[in-house]
Amino acid sequence: MERAPTPANEEERLVSLHALALLDTEPEERFDRITKTATQVFQVPISTLTLVDAKREWFKSCQGLPGREGDRAISFCGHALLASDVFVVPDTKKDKRFSDNPMVTGKPFIRFYAGVPLLSADGQRIGVFCIKDTEPREFSAEQQGLLKNLATWAELELNARNLSLALSEQKRLREVLVQRNRETELSRAKDEAILDSIGDGMIVVDEERKILFFSKSAEEMTGWAARDAIGKHASEVIEMVDEKGAPIHPDKRPIHLALSTKKKVVSATAYYFVLKDGARFPAAIVATPVTYGHAIIGAVLIFRDITKEKEVDEAKTEFVSVASHQLRTPLSAVSWYTEMLLAGDAGKLSELQEKYLRAVYEGNRRMVALLDALLNVSRLDLGSFIISPQPTAVPELVRSVLDDLMPFIVKKNITVHEHYAKDLSEFQADPKLLRMVLQNLLSNSVKYSANNGAVTVNVIPVTRDHIFGGKRAAADNLAISVSDAGIGIPPAQQDKIFTKLFRADNAMETEAEGTGLGLYIVKSIIDRSGGRVWFRSEQGNGTTFYITLPLSGMRAKRGSKMLTQKIISTQQAT
């Protein structure tokens, strides 16, 4: 006898079987109807709807047998379970697998068996629909077809509950999906509404610079319709030129830079967008790479039309230029005529006349100095000044500034200590700007020193990191310090010392004159030259200002305006 085999996926099969929740339940008419039909159609005494459990065969419906279960190992259904089609044993006595089976040799003396495996909704073999006879039989193909039909019926009944469950589950899932879809749609619509409401133009590209998204503002600004722009290469849609109208190579544009450098790119120079009709507008641009995981998957380009800002900028520049000319002309006249009078060109002056005229002259010089300082500040604020580095001997620059200040140095009997590093080679600096910086720092030192005080200047190259002025100076910097033992800066006002028009209280008491612009100018120049400036000060004990500039030199900067040099010297050297 051959025992009924166990399939490889027995565990999964049992899970499916048990999930049906039919084992050990009461007989049901819906199944009995099928087995009864089978006995009548095939004129056999026995028909069962068998569920094959782990150790047993159990009959959900059974015709012609007294019990409701049997041993799986010796069961016919255990074999039929794994059959590919109808499993037929025409004569059990002639079949080695069953000839000595106790159900053949003993009760119920089975001589014929035909069964069809039954599948659950998830495709697992869970049972068998079968007929049995006590006489051997021939089972024609037609009869096999009939038995299969009955088995299909049984299968439908077996899975009916599951199917209805599955259907209701599917329905529920569909509802959830519909709801989710609706929510997604809504949030998408909201996102789109938000994106469309952004006043700045927004273009999203993939890593190949193909346009994925084109916002409504971008449409309005560029004249392109999103549906035409999307899918095109960014450079096909956005034509960019510089201030002079020269095209900007696609590889130099912010989108490409953002993708290649993997960093946010904020437009520093003016980019002009060229519209389809040839018109152009200046744009402020921010391009940001989009990263997903570690990969760059595209970039977002945000741009804004800055025509208005440009106009305001130009108007301001124009104003500075006009103001410069218009204000200086009467100042020049006052200056020259007072000078002529003082020189006695119009006859000898009385002592009192000369004294009064000197006051006029001084006042006028101060006005010129103030005007120059204001114009410089205006240019610094506009960023329209030029930095043009050239080889400069810093010690000579310091000495020439000291020469200018000599009348005051002598008057206050101030000792000046100059320390220059021996290996100081010529340094790439804009001599006019650096001179302006030194002039401001040195004249402050002299101005705020007591009589008989001392001022020290150091100029040294820093070749490796070392502490300079309490800070770790970066290697390859030129370091300049200017120290005095003067009035110092009050601690509470130290954070404001570089602020435009700010003067410390003690400075105002010591020296009524002063624009409050000198250190602001120093900081602006040094910041934009790629350097750093800071100070250490103790009220009553003096101040040291520190400057570092990269040894590679001041950063060149193109602009349209020079700063006027004589800020302090015109004010003082008169």
Chain residues in the site for another protein (CB under 8 A): 321, 324-325, 328-329, 331-333, 335-337, 339-340, 343, 345, 368, 371-372, 375, 386, 559-562, 564, 566, 570
Q: What is the CA 45 to chain-centroid distance, rounded?
A: 79
State phi, psi for 450 to the nearest 5 degrees: -75, 165
Q: What is the CA 345 to chain-centroid distance, rounded?
A: 72
Nearer to another protein, 269 or 326 (CB): 326
Min. distance of Cβ 401 from another protein in angstroms?
Answer: 16
Query: CB within 8 A of 376, min separation 6: which ones?
Result: 385, 436, 517, 521, 563, 564, 567
The Cα-based distances of 262 to 94, 205, 303 in angstroms read 81, 14, 19
Min. distance of Cβ 432 from another protein in angstroms?
Answer: 11
Nearer to another protein, 332 or 353 (CB): 332
Nearer to another protein, 16 or 440 (CB): 440
For residue 568, give the DSSP letter.
S
Nearer to another protein, 100 or 339 (CB): 339
Min. distance of Cβ 375 from another protein in angstroms?
Answer: 7
Q: How is residue 311 written in tokens?
A: 């106009």
Query: CB within 8 A of 243, min separation 6: which ones?
Result: 269, 270, 272
Min. distance of Cβ 379 from another protein in angstroms?
Answer: 9
Backbone CA torsion sign across 365, 367, 371, 374 = positive
Nearer to another protein, 336 or 356 (CB): 336
Nearer to another protein, 312 or 333 (CB): 333
Nearer to another protein, 215 or 529 (CB): 529
Nearer to another protein, 35 or 324 (CB): 324
Nearer to another protein, 52 or 368 (CB): 368
Q: Are 535 and 489 in contact (CB under 8 A)?
A: yes
Min. distance of Cβ 381 from another protein in angstroms?
Answer: 16
Min. distance of Cβ 562 from another protein in angstroms?
Answer: 4
Min. distance of Cβ 322 from another protein in angstroms?
Answer: 9
CA distance 89 to 137: 9
Query: CB within 8 A of 113, min separation 6: which ones?
Result: 76, 80, 87, 88, 89, 92, 98, 130, 131, 132
CA dihedral 548, 554, 559, 565 (to 10 degrees): 70
Min. distance of Cβ 531 from another protein in angstroms?
Answer: 22
Min. distance of Cβ 394 from another protein in angstroms?
Answer: 23
CA distance 308 to 209: 29
DSSP letters, 50-105, are EEE-SSEEEEEEEES-S-SEEESTT-HHHHHTT-SS-EEES-GGG-TTTTT-HHHH
